[in-house]
Structure 1
Amino acid sequence: MAGTVRGSQLARLLGGWQGAGRAGGPEYARLAAAVRGLLTDGRLALGVRLPAERELAQALGLSRTTVTAAYRTLRESGHLTSRRGAGSWTALPSGHRVGTSGLWGPIEDDDTIDLGQAALPAPPELTAAVAAAAEDLPPYLTGAGYHPMGLAVLREAVAREYTERGLPTLPDQIMITAGVSHALDLVLRLLVAPGQRVLLEAPTYPNALTAVVASRARVIGYALGDAGWDSDLLLSTVRDARARLAYLIPDFHNPTGHLMETALRERLPAAAHAVGTDVVVDESFADLRLDGPELPPAVATFDRAARVLTIGGMSKPYWGGLRIGWVRAATSVTARLAAARVAVDMSSPVLDQLVGAHLLGARQQVVAARRAELTARRDTLVAALRAHLPEWRFVVPHGGLSLWVELDAPVSSALARAVEELGVRVAAGPRFGADGTMERFLRLPYTLPEADLVEAVRRLAQARESLDRVPVRQLRAPAIVA
C-alpha cells in the first residue's frame, strides 16, 4: 500500500477538476475523469487509499451522492478497488501498463500520439552495432559476467569522449550504470542519508525528483527564471541551503531547454565546496545541440576539489531501450559507487555494454543525423503552436528534446486530461515540480514525426477550447483553524 490521501489533500491535487474531459457531462463523471487524470500524470500513486466519500464531498463542496457515483465509475473502469468497511484504493485497469514515462496507458495504444515521453526511436546504426557486439561476446563468456565498474572497452570509450570535449578523464573515473536514473540512484544511496538536504531546480526532471524523495532526503528548490539560472541567486541558494547534494541539468535543461553560461559553471564548484555540497551534473542532453552557441565547458572542468559528479548516458541521443549510463567522478568515488552497486544489481549486461561501445564508435554519424532530424521537428512544433495557439508563450531552445510552454491560464492538468480523450498524451506541468505548482506550464517534446506534432497541436487547441466551455464551480473556502 502506498499510503492514504486525505480529502483536503486530494482536493488540492484535483485543482480545477471541473474542467476535466469534454465540455458538459455529469459532475460525477468529470470528477472520476479528474482522478483518472491524476493517476495518468503520476501525481496520484497506485495503491493509495482515497478519502471516505463523505470526507471528499465536504472538501470539494459537493453532495455525497456525486462522490459516491464518481467512486462507482472508477471501480467500473478498474481505477479503484474497494472493500466494504475498509476503504477504496487506486488501481491500474486490466490491460494497462505503466510506461517508460511513469504514466499508465493501454497496452494497445498505437493510435495515441504520445508526447509524455521525450525520447527517440532507435537509430539505424543500432542493428550493425548489435551484430558487431555479438561477434565480440565470446571472450567474455568464459567469465562470470559480473563487472560492477563496467566493461573496460566501454569505460575507455566514455573516458575518451570526455577527454575530446576538453575534460581529461581516465577509464577508472568512469562507472557504467543501467541508465542515467540508475546512476543518480546509486549516487543518492552512497552520499545522502535520510533527512539530509538535496537541492533541485524547479522545474526539474520528474524521475530525479522521485528518486530524491524516495531516498527520504529533504528537497530544497531553486526556481529557474524565463532566462534560466540567475547566477547570484543560485550561488547564494547553494551557500544558504548547505545541502548534502545538488542535482543540476546545465546542458539543455529538462524540461526548459536552458543552457547554463560558462561564468556560472566556473563559479559553481567552488561555492559548493565551501559549504560541503557535492554537485551532480546531469549531461543527458549534452550531445543534442541543434543551433546557437557552442556547448560551454563541462562543469567538472572547473572542479578543483572532486565535488562534481557527472552523470550521462545513451538514452537521449541514441535509444532508451539501451540501458547504458555512467558516472564520471574521482577514482575514489567510482570505486565506492561500484562497491555500493554490488548490493543492488551487481553489474550491467555485458552484451548491452558491447553494443554501447560500438554505437559510441559511430557517434559522429548518429548524433549528426539526430540533430538534423530534431531541428526540423522543433521548428515544425514551434510553427504549429504559433499558428494554432498564439497566446501560449515559450523560448525556442537551442538544444534538447522539448519545449517548456507557458499556457494562457493555470489549466495544465485539466488540459492533459481533456486532450487524452482526443488521443494525445502529454505530461502536465505539475509533474516537474515538488509541490503541485506549475499549472501554467506544459512540456511538449519534439521527438515525434512532424505530421504527428502538427496533429497533436491541433488537438491541444481543440481541448483548450473545450475547457472554456465548461462552467467551473468554485471550491468552498476551507475553514480557518487557529
Structure 2
Amino acid sequence: MSSRRFGSQSLVRLLGHWQQPSSRTPLWRQLADALRLLILDGRLALDTRLPGERELAAALTVSRTTVSSALAHLRDAGYLESRHGSGSRIILPDSHAVPTRAAASVALDLSTAALSAGPEIHQAYTHALTAMTQHLSQTGYDQLGLPELRETIAARYCSRGLPTRADEIMVVNGAVSGLALVLRMLTGPGDRVVVDHPTYPLAIAAIQGASCRPVGVALPESGWDTDGFAATLAQTAPRLAYLMPDFHNPTGRCMDVATRQTIADIAAQTRTTLVVDETMVDLWFDAPPPPPLAAFNPQANIITLGSAGKSFWGGLRLGWIRASSRTIATLAQTRDTLDLGSPMLEQLATLWLIEHSDAFLPARRQMLSERRDRCGALMREHFPEWRFHEPQGGLSYWVELPGRVATQFGARAETLGIHLGTGTRFGLSGAFDRYLRMPFSMDSAELENALLRIKPLWTTLNKSDSFLKRGVI
C-alpha cells in the first residue's frame, strides 16, 4: 500500500506557531519537537509521507539545513524512515512500548480528560459474570445488542423526554465506533461533514478516516451560532453535521432549549442529517441538560450517539446509537462489514450500571464539581494570564492563552515527558493555537503537582520578548 503524501501547506498549518526565536533551543530541534508532537497526537498518521526537504524548507521559510537536521533527528529517534528519492515516511520507534500519549512512560498526562474506575465498576463486572451464565448456551452474536440493554437505554431516553423503543437502539463499541458506522452508511469520499469548531479530535479523525471533509462552524464566545450553522449548511450541502450539545468537548458549554429547537428546525428544513454526540450528558454539575436534541422536531433526521465511557468508565468501550428503526436496520446491514456485535460481558456490566446509576452518579458529579473548582482556583493563582469560563459540565476547561503559543508550549513540555492537550488538536488546519484543554478529572493533589511542574515552562515562555508581539491578535 502506497503512503499518503502530506502537502507542505497543510503541514505548515498543522505546525502552527512552532518557532521560538528567543529560545536557546536550536531551530532544527524546535521543528523536530513540533513534528514529534504531531506524530504523538495522531495528526500525522503512520505511513504518511512528508514533503521533500527543499519544498518543506521553502514552505516554512527556513534553511534546508534546518529541515534536514530536524528530519535526521526524527529518523535517529525512530519516527521517520527515509529512502533516497522517496522522501520520509512516518513510523513509530521499534520498542516494546508504543510511544503514544496513553502508553508513553511519563510522569504527567494533562492531555486526557477521563476518570478512573470507581468501585461500582467491579460490582458491575461481578454481577455480569454471574448473569453471563444464562447466555452461554447462545452464540453470543447480536449486531443490535442485548435486548435487555436496548430496552433499558430506550427507557432512559423516554425519561429524558424523547420517546424511544428498543428497536430504535443499536449497541456499538463506543461513540466513536458509532460515528464511524454512521459515516460508513451515509457518506462517500469527498463528502462534507459540518462540525462545531473546535470539536472532539477523534470525531475529526473519524470523518477524515472516512475520506470526508470536515467543515467547521465557529463557536462564538458563548452558545452556538445558529445563523452561521444555517449558512454553512446552505453553502456546503453536507451529507451530515456532527454536534455535541451536552457539555461540549472541549468548551464544556451546554446548548439551551431555544438553540436546540432552532438547530432541529434547521435540520428539518434543509433535510440535513444531524449526528448528536451525548457522550458527556451525565456529567452535569448544577442542573441536568435539556431533553435530547432529537426531541425538538420529529421531522428532523437526528441520529444520537451515547456512551458508557465518560459516565461510567472508559475501559467498558461500549456505546449506542439511537435512531429511527429503519435507520437502525440499515446500520445493522452496514455493520456486517465491520464486526459481529459488542462483547456480552461489557453489555451486561453496562446494563447493571445504568440500572444502578442513581446510586453513584450524584457522588461522581459532586466530585467533578469540586475538582473543577479547585482546578480553576489553581489556574487563577499560578497562571493569571490564562482566560477561561467555568464549564457547566464535562471534564475539562477550555483555556485561552495570551498568544498563539500552544504548540510551542506543548512541544517544550513534551521534551520533559509532560503531555498537554494543545488547542490545535481540536481544530482544523492548525486552528486554536492559542488554546489548551485543561482536564480536571485527576485527583486535585495530582493536578496541583502537574500544574506546578509546567509552571516554570510557562514562565520561561511567557518571558519571551517576541511572544506577545507575534502571538496576540
Q: TM-score range by the shorter chain?
A: over 0.9
**In structure 2, distance between residues paired with 1:143 and 1:443:** 45
Among residues 141, 146, 158, which one is paired with 1:146 in the alignment? 141
Matches of 2:348 and 2:258, distance apart in 1: 37
**For residue 372 of structure 1, what is the aligned residue in structure 2?**
366
Distance 1:71 1:317 in 2: 42
Among 394, 405, 409, the alignment partner of 1:411 is 405
Deviation at 1:121, TM superposition (A): 0.9
> What is residue 385 of structure 1 aligned with on the other side?
379
Residue type of the alignment partner of 1:144? T
Q: Which residue of structure 1 aligns with residue 432 of structure 2?
A: 438
**TM-score under structure 2 length normalisation:** 0.92
User: Under a length normalisation based on structure 1, what TM-score does the superposition of the two structures give?
Assistant: 0.91
Deviation sequence 1:396-424 (CA, Å, 0-9, x none): 01101111111010011111111223442
Question: Is the contact made by 2:424 and 2:431 (CA closer than 8 Å) also made in structure 1?
Answer: yes
**Which amino acid letter does the alignment assign opposite residue 467 of structure 1?**
L
- Taking the aligned partners of 1:156 and 1:180, their CA distance within structure 2 comes to 18
Partner of 1:256: 251
Checking the alignment, whether the CA contact within 8 Å between 2:47 and 2:91 is kept in structure 1 is yes
Alpha-carbon deviation of 1:108?
5.4
How much has 1:30 moved relative to structure 2? 2.2
User: 1:468: how far off?
Assistant: 4.3
Q: How far is the alpha carbon of 1:236 from its aligned partner?
A: 4.1
Whole-angstrom distance in 2 between the partners of 1:445 and 1:168? 34
Partners of 2:355 and 2:40 in 1: CA distance: 39
Write the letter of the residue equivalent to 1:257: G
Aligned letter for 1:55?
A: E
CA contact (8 A) 1:96 1:105 kept: no
What does the per-residue CA deviation read over 1:63-96, in whole Å, with 9 as the maximum and x for residues that have no partner?
A: 3333332222112211112223432222212337
SS class of match (1:18): coil
CA RMSD in angstroms, aligned pairs only: 2.2
**1:136 equivalent among 131, 136, 139:** 131
Q: Secondary structure at the residue paired with 1:49?
A: coil
Counterparts of 1:198 and 1:254, CA distance in 2: 18
- Which position in structure 2 is the counterpart of 1:51? 51
How far apart are the structure 2 equivalents of 1:215 and 1:255? 23
Distance in 2 of aligned mates of 1:17 and 1:229: 30
Change in Cα spacing, 1:30 to 1:230, as seen in structure 2 (3 Å) is closer
1:232 deviates by: 3.5
Alignment of 1:253-402 (within 5 A): 253-291=248-286, 293-305=287-299, 307-402=301-396
The one-letter code matched in structure 2 to 1:142 is S
Residues 48 and 470 (structure 1), Cα distance of their counterparts in 2 relative to 1, 3 Å cut: farther
Counterpart residue type for residue 82 of structure 2: S
Q: Is the 8 A contact 2:113 2:441 kept in 1?
A: yes
How do 1:163-202 and structure 2 match up within 5 A?
Answer: 163-202=158-197
Alpha-carbon distance in structure 2 between the residues aligned to 1:346 and 1:127: 26
Equivalent in the alignment of 2:152: 157
Please give the alpha-carbon distance, in whole angstroms, between the structure 2 residues aligned to 1:165 and 1:324.
20
Q: Which amino acid aligns with 1:68?
A: S
| Secondary structure at 1:343 match in 2 | coil
**Among 449, 454, 463, which residue is 1:460 paired with?**
454
Report the Cα distance in structure 1 between the residues aligned to 2:97 and 2:209, rounded to whole angstroms. Answer: 22
Give 1:207 shift: 0.8
1:82 counterpart residue number = 82
Q: Which stretch shifts more, 297-306 or 463-472?
A: 463-472
3-state SS of the aligned residue for 1:3?
Answer: coil
2: CA distance, partners of 1:431 / 1:270: 31
Q: Identify the range of structure 1 (332-341 vs 401-410) with the bigger mean alpha-carbon deviation.
A: 332-341
Alignment of 1:70 with 2:99, yes or no, is no
On the 8 A contact 2:41/2:101 being kept in 1, the answer is no
Q: Write out per-residue CA displacement over residues 28-53 of structure 1, whole angstroms, 9 at most, x where no aligned residue.
A: 22222222122123332222222333
| CA contact 1:16–1:472 (8 Å) conserved in 2 | no
Moved more, 229-238 or 362-371: 229-238
Residue 16 of structure 2 contacts residue 430 of structure 2 at CA under 8 Å; is this kept in 1? Answer: no
Separation in 2, partners of 1:366, 1:238: 41
Q: Is the 8 A contact 1:41 1:428 kept in 2?
A: no
Corresponding residue for 1:38? 38
Q: Which amino acid aligns with 2:78?
A: G
1:17 is matched with which residue? 18
Is 1:28 aligned to 2:28, yes or no? yes
CA-to-partner distance for each residue in 1:87-107, whole Å, 9 max, x for gaps? Answer: 2222212337568xxxx2484
1:264–1:147 CA distance, 2 compared to 1 (3 A): same
Contact 1:318 1:366 in 2 (8 A): no
Query: Structure 1 pair 470/7, CA: closer, same or farther in 2 (3 Å)?
Result: farther
Which residue type is aligned with residue 266 of structure 1? Answer: Q
Q: Classify 1:106/1:357 alpha carbon distance in 2 versus 1 (closer, same or farther; 3 Å).
A: closer
- How much has 1:269 moved relative to structure 2? 2.1
**Aligned equivalents of 2:226 and 2:32: distance in 1?**
44
Q: Cα gap change, 1:108/1:433 in structure 2, threshold over 3 Å: closer, same or farther?
A: closer
Segments of structure 2 that go 5 or more residues without pairing to the other structure are 468-473
Post-superposition CA distance 1:129-168 (Å, at most 9, x none): 1111111112211222111000011111111111121222
Q: Which runs of 5+ in 1 are unaligned?
A: 474-482
Identity, % of aligned positions: 42
Is 1:448 paired with 2:422? Answer: no
- How many correspondences in the alignment? 466
Give 3-state SS (helix, strand or coil) of 1:225's partner: coil
The AA in structure 2 aligned to 1:93 is: P
Matches within 5 A, 1:194-233: 194-233=189-228
